[in-house]
Structure 1
Amino acid sequence: MNIAQHLAVTLKTLRQQRGWSLSRLAEETGVSKAMLGQIERNESSPTVATLWKIATGLNVPFSLFITPPESEAAAYDPQQQAMVVTPLFPWDAELRFDHFSIMLAPGALSESAPHEAGVIEHVVTISGTLDMRIDGRWQQVAAGEGLRFAGDAAHAYRNSTDETVHFHSLIHYPKEKSAG
């Protein structure tokens, strides 16, 4: 199974486990019913921003959708993809985090919808200079620098240079609420 098939099967399985229609999934995620159907049928490859919306709406870790089968590691081609997200450590249910390596092509912008309440994100630039918009304000994160912020507010990643930016993102999810 390739990564696109993995995504299609995972999305459909999560939706069906909840007993949701595509209409309900669209309401919960803010992604159109048509797009969700295309993803489930493996007819469309969603953007990273769309996947974040889906993961947030389903209240599941982002890496659940992009952890590729072992034989299909992501290859980065800045000519074809503005942003490539590769899991370094897959979702850890006990520690409640995802850890990603992200490549952002020259001139690329990725806007992130708010994650679930209580999410904290740590970004460390490996090479290049990353621009981050947090609380409506742009700031630069140079190679070797890091930034910690509340991921439950809209934020954005931008590469305003002519070189690819490589950064890591460690995302901590809040503890599950116990039924009471």
Structure 2
Amino acid sequence: MDFLLISIEAINLYNLDENYTYKINSVEIATRLNNLFLIRCGNLLRHPQSYTLYNFKETIKAIYYLYRSVNNFRMQKKISKILKAIYHDNQLKSIKQYLQRFKYIYYKTHNYYNINSKLCFYDKDITEIAILNLYIIHILSRENGIYFLIKYLKSPYYIHKIWNK
């Protein structure tokens, strides 16, 4: 889930400012984005050994905030533009910006500055994860998006369990 949160941050680093500018009377959006920020800062999603500390109620709240944060027109428009450009193999500035932001946030939170992190990916893997997360966020806006997200979040657990046998 942390990679999805990184994707949201990378899509629009200034989402809080934009939402404040466009919807001055709407505190709800800023509150949801602040909650996502606090979830990421809590470091509970980042490490597999912490998953046991992260209870079911908090996970459901994180999924809810994630769903509500990406279900807005501007965010989905940006995601669609990037995904279409990737499909048509265009080298748009927005693709490069998103990938650079994603890599920067990933390296800052997982790799270079985080000694305890056991997850380490190469640039190619990070790029693939970033693009996959865009697609997942795009699917999340559809009717059965929450169901898809829960199935996606559940699947790495089984993969991790199989590898550690």
- TM-score per shorter chain, which class? 0.3 to 0.5
Which fold has the larger relative contact order, with Cα–Cα distance below 8 Å and residues 6 or more apart in sequence?
2
TM-score of the superposed pair, with normalisation by structure 1: 0.32
